[in-house]
Each structure stands twice: as structure tokens, then as C-alpha cells.
């Protein structure tokens, strides 16, 4: 027996529809509107009389009611943008006596204040979600491949070929070279060319983690491991990187106490979070990098020999930029492309004289220094051609500096030709500038190490670099 709503007038049905929070539209088998409630009409800026009898897609933005009325397939919780708001739509086919006769659709249509509030909340959450999504992707994946490593000099080609050759195996790699030569770039490319490329790549700068935090950062900690520890504990970076690659940058700065713990973790292939009893198995490939002389550190007893051997299975030595001047033009071109994207420019080129000057510089800070020089140039540039005047003084003045160096060499070897007396301030400033440049060269561009060599503090060192335009 068919169920009927005996005695229920159409007014009752319409009132019931009005009481529902959802707004309703009904179409026939051809997608022609046969009913739409008043609040829905108000929201889309139409009237009942205008809407009824017309194809639904002409009246309601992004409607799919005409499709459901034809396919008989229901669509649940679809997001439907209407009037700049995203509505949640449900669409059901209507079957009478087994025959598809049309469809009924509902959209959730809270009052405008609620809607606005809901929309703001959603967009804030979406923004936050995207931010963390991007951050996680950026932090956990390698960003560069071997194609991003520019250089045609023989020494660079050899380093790159070795990197490509060993990328596919599981051995540890030690990348050595002065600061700014591209060690991290190599580590990214090796990971990207390896079987582990679908797993995380985690870069850890050993120089920037305070000694007391090393173990908890790398291995994690259990709930209540120490005062101030996060409730519920924290996963260490080694666990996060599981099955992937860990890049230990500035490994020469890892404290001795931590070196033993690292060695144990690598040998046993497991870690023990701080304050925990159980061990966690880990499967990692280690790529380490340093600008320090690890063999000397081993001799001095500041770096563990056994750890050195474990890390230095394959050594890739990246030559300093001054030893591969033929790479400067090509690297500059690549860096300019990167900078053009950052500064919304196009077609920037170097004048031939600038190329000559860049090739004549010693680059104590290597490619990073070159990048800074080009960024400065692009910032002060009006047209598209980078000329000498766009270079920092210390590069422009290299000929003067060279002459000065020759002069002071002559000064120290000849006692006969006495140099002209200059104001003491000028002489002291020149000597200071020369001492800083020299220290930077000795320290391979590492400013902290250079400051240490000179016996001055970091801040004072940076101040002086600014004064003398040393990058």
C-alpha cells in the first residue's frame, strides 16, 4: 500500500520547506525548475515567478541539477560556488514508480552573518593549512637536481660526475669545499637522483643547534623527558627523515659528545629518544658537509676518527670559485634568472667589462658572494645591462687594491724608497680592511671563523665588513 500524507495541504508542505535550514530547488527530468523556495530566490536575486519554468543552469550558478535529473546519480556534499560564497549542495534524483522524473537539490544557506563568519573562518584555516603544507613540502623535499648545478670547468664537471655516479648507491657522502661553493646544492641533487627521492630530505645545520639541544633535536624526546619539554614528547629529525636522507651541514661544528652519539646511531641503525627506554630503528642515508679540514681536526682530537671514516666513504671536493673562473659567466647567468624572478625583471645581462671584473675577483665567499653581488647590482639597476658602476666598491676597486698590495709588498721588501706619509686614520683603515679580507680568505669566507682569527666579536666583525663594503 502506498503511503499518503492524507489531508496535508500544499501550504503545509511549503511551510515545512521554509522551516528547513537548507534551501530547496526541484527540477523536472529536463532540468526545468518546478519549485524553488523564497529564501533561495532572495539569495540568488530572483523571484519564484521568474525562476519557475526556466532551465536551472540559467538561474543557479554552477548548478548540476539538470545532470542529476538525467543520470539518476545522487551527488552529496558537493561544494558549489554561488554569488562568491561556497555552498554545500546535495542533489537527489526523484524516482516515481521506478521512473526518473526529476531531481531535488538542497544547499546549506545559513544567514548572511553566519555565512560570512563561516567563510572567514574557512579561508583563514585554508590559508594556514596551505602555509604548513608548503612549509612541510619545502622542508622535507630536496629542491635541486644536478641540472641546477652550473659549471663547465673540468674540476666542477668531475665533482658533478662523481655526485651523479654515487647518487644511486647507499654510501655516506662527505662534501667538502669552502663556504658558499654549493655543498648543500650537491646534497640536494644526490638525494633527488637516489632511490630515496620519494622520502624526506632533511637538512640539519650542526653549527646552529645549541649543544644541549642536539640529542633531543636529532633523536627526539619522550613525554616529561625534561623541564619545558613539550607534552606528549617530540619526534626527532632522524625519525622524521626515516627512509630518506639526512644532510648534516657543518659537521665539523658538531660537539664531540654528540659525535659519539651520532656514530652509535649510524652503526646500530637505531635511535633512543631522550628520556625513553625503547629504541627506534632508522633507515637513513647520511650526506655530510664541511668547510673545515676534518683530517686536521682528527689529528687535533676535535673530530672522532671512527666517525670521520664512516662519513667519508665518498668524498666530493668542490673547488673554490677562484679556481674555476670559467664558470663565473654561466653561474651568473643562472643566478640572474633566479634574481629576475624575485625582482620581477627580464632580460638582465652583464656587460663584458663586468664579466672581466667578476673573473678577476678572488671570491672568498664563492658562489654565495657572487649571488649577493648580483642581487645588489639588480637592485640599483635602471636598464637591463649590469655595468661596473653597479658593482660594489670592493670589486670595482680591485685594480686599486691590487696596486696597493703591490705597493705594500714593495714596502716590505725595500727600505730604500720610503712611502709617502698618509693620515694615520687612512693607513689604519686600509690595514684593517686588508686584515679582514685576509682573514676571510684564510677562513674560506666563513665570517665567524674569520672573526675568531682576528680575535674580535661577531658584531664588531659584521660592522667593519659593512664599513669596508666587504661581503
Ligand X SMILES: Nc1ncnc2c1ncn2[C@@H]1O[C@H](COP(=O)(O)OP(=O)(O)OP(=O)(O)O)[C@@H](O)[C@H]1O
User: Between 332 and 437, whose beta carbon lies closer to ligand X?
Assistant: 332
The minimum distance between CB 439 and ligand X, in angstroms, equals 16
Q: What are phi and psi of 236, to 5 degrees?
A: -80, 160
Identified binder of ligand X from the candidate list 23, 64, 91, 183, rule CB under 6 A = 183
- Give the three cell numbers for residue 433: 680592511
Site for ligand X in 54-83 (CB under 6 A): none
CB neighbour class for 420 (10 Å; exposed up to 12, middle 13-18, buried from 19): exposed
Q: Contacts with ligand X: how many residues (CB under 6 A)?
A: 19
Identified binder of ligand X from the candidate list 75, 184, 217, 222, rule CB under 6 A = 184
Choices 31-39, 82-90, 182-190, 304-312; region in contact with ligand X by CB under 6 A? 182-190
Identified binder of ligand X from the candidate list 31, 93, 163, 180, rule CB under 6 A = 180
DSSP letter, residue 147: G
Site for ligand X in 14-43 (CB under 6 A): none
Q: Rounded to an integer, what distance in angstroms lies between the CA atom of residue 408 and that of residue 388?
A: 26
User: Between 149 and 241, whose beta carbon lies closer to ligand X?
Assistant: 149
Asked whether the beta carbons of 444 and 321 are under 8 A apart, the reply is no
User: Between 26 and 175, whose beta carbon lies closer to ligand X?
Assistant: 175
User: Between 222 and 371, whose beta carbon lies closer to ligand X?
Assistant: 371
Does residue 181 interact with ligand X by CB under 6 A?
Answer: yes
Choices 98-106, 271-279, 293-301, 365-373; region in contact with ligand X by CB under 6 A? 365-373
Asked whether the beta carbons of 250 and 241 are under 8 A apart, the reply is no
Does residue 367 interact with ligand X by CB under 6 A?
Answer: yes
CB neighbour class for 349 (10 Å; exposed up to 12, middle 13-18, buried from 19): middle
Does residue 149 interact with ligand X by CB under 6 A?
Answer: yes
Does residue 249 interact with ligand X by CB under 6 A?
Answer: yes
Identified binder of ligand X from the candidate list 17, 371, 378, 443, rule CB under 6 A = 371
Longest CA pairwise span in the chain (Å): 127
User: Between 22 and 371, whose beta carbon lies closer to ligand X?
Assistant: 371
Site for ligand X in 320-339 (CB under 6 A): 331, 334
Q: Rounded to an integer, what distance in angstroms lies between the CA atom of residue 224 and that of residue 188?
A: 35
Comparing every residue's Cβ against ligand X, the nearest one is 182
Does residue 172 interact with ligand X by CB under 6 A?
Answer: no
Q: How many CA atoms lie within 13 A of 345 on its CB side?
A: 22
Q: Rounded to an integer, what distance in angstroms lies between the CA atom of residue 173 and that of residue 162?
A: 11
What single string gives the DSSP state of each residue in 10-64? HHHHHHHHHHSSEEEEEEETTSBEEEE-HHHHHHHT--HHHHTTSBHHHHSTT--
Question: Edge to edge, what strands does the sheet with 75-82 contain?
Answer: 33-36, 22-28, 99-108, 85-96, 75-82
Does residue 368 interact with ligand X by CB under 6 A?
Answer: yes
Does residue 252 interact with ligand X by CB under 6 A?
Answer: no
Site for ligand X in 289-308 (CB under 6 A): 289, 291
Q: Rounded to an integer, what distance in angstroms lies between the CA atom of residue 109 and that of residue 86?
A: 10
Identified binder of ligand X from the candidate list 93, 102, 105, 151, rule CB under 6 A = 151
The minimum distance between CB 165 and ligand X, in angstroms, equals 18
Count of CB atoms within 10 A of residue 449's CB?
17
- Give the three cell numbers for residue 8: 496535508
Residues binding ligand X (CB under 6 A): 149-151, 177, 179-185, 249, 289, 291, 331, 334, 367-368, 371
Amino acid at each position: 500500500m502506498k503511503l499518503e500524507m492524507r489531508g496535508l495541504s500544499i501550504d503545509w508542505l511549503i511551510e515545512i520547506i521554509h522551516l528547513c535550514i537548507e534551501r530547496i530547488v526541484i527540477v523536472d527530468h529536463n532540468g526545468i525548475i518546478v519549485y524553488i523556495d523564497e529564501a533561495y530566490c532572495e539569495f540568488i536575486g530572483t523571484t519564484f515567478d521568474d525562476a519557475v519554468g526556466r532551465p536551472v543552469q540559467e538561474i543557479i550558478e554552477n548548478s548540476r541539477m539538470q545532470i542529476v535529473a538525467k543520470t539518476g546519480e545522487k551527488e552529496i556534499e558537493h561544494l558549489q560556488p554561488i554569488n562568491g560564497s561556497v555552498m554545500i549542495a546535495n542533489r537527489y534524483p526523484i524516482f516515481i514508480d521506478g521512473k526518473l522524473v526529476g531531481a531535488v537539490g538542497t544547499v546549506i544557506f545559513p544567514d548572511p552573518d553566519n555565512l560570512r563568519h563561516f567563510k572567514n573562518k574557512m579561508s583563514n584555516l585554508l590559508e594556514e593549512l596551505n602555509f604548513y603544507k608548503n612549509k612541510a613540502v619545502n622542508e622535507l623535499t630536496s629542491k635541486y637536481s644536478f641540472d641546477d648545478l652550473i659549471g663547465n670547468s673540468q674540476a666542477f664537471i668531475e665533482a658533478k660526475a662523481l655526485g651523479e655516479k654515487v647518487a644511486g648507491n647507499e654510501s655516506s657522502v662527505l662534501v667538502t669545499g669552502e663556504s658558499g661553493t654549493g655543498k648543500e646544492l650537491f646534497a640536494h641533487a644526490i638525494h633527488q637522483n637516489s632511490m630515496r627521492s620519494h622520502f624526506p630530505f632533511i637538512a640539519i645545520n650542526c653549527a646552529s643547534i645549541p649543544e644541549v639541544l642536539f640529542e633531543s633535536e636529532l633523536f627526539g624526546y619522550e613525554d616529561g623527558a625534561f623541564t619545558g619539554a613539550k607534552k606528549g614528547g617530540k619526534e626527532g629529525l632522524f625519525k622524521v627523515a626515516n627512509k630518506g636522507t639526512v644532510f648534516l651541514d657543518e659537521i665539523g661544528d658538531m660537539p664531540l659528545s654528540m659525535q659519539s652519539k651520532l656514530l652509535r646511531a649510524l652503526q646500530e641503525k637505531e635511535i633512543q629518544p631522550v628520556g625513553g627506554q625503547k629504541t627506534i630503528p632508522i633507515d637513513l642515508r647520511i650526506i655530510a658537509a664541511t668547510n673545515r679540514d676534518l683530517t686536521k681536526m682528527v689529528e687535533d682530537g676535535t673530530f672522532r676518527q671512527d666517525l670521520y671514516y664512516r662519513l667519508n666513504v665518498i668524498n666530493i671536493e668542490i673547488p673554490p670559485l677562484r679556481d674555476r673562473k670559467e664558470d663565473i659567466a654561466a653561474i651568473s647567468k643562472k643566478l640572474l634568472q633566479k634574481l629576475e624572478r624575485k625582482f620581477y625583471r627580464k632580460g638582465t645581462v652583464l656587460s663584458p667589462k663586468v664579466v672581466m671584473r667578476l673573473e678577476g675577483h678572488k671570491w672568498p665567499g664563492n658562489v654565495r658572494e657572487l649571488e649577493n653581488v648580483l642581487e645588489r647590482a639588480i637592485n640599483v639597476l635602471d636598464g637591463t645591462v649590469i655595468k661596473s658602476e653597479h658593482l660594489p666598491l670592493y670589486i670595482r676597486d680591485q685594480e686599486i687594491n691590487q696596486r696597493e698590495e703591490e705597493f705594500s709588498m714593495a714596502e716590505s721588501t725595500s727600505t730604500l724608497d720610503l712611502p709617502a706619509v698618509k693620515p694615520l686614520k687612512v693607513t689604519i683603515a686600509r690595514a684593517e680592511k686588508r686584515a679582514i679580507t685576509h682573514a676571510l680568505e684564510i677562513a674560506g669566507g666563513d665570517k665567524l671563523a674569520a672573526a675568531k682569527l682576528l680575535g674580535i666579536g661577531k658584531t664588531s666583525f659584521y660592522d667593519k665588513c659593512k664599513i669596508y663594503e666587504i661581503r
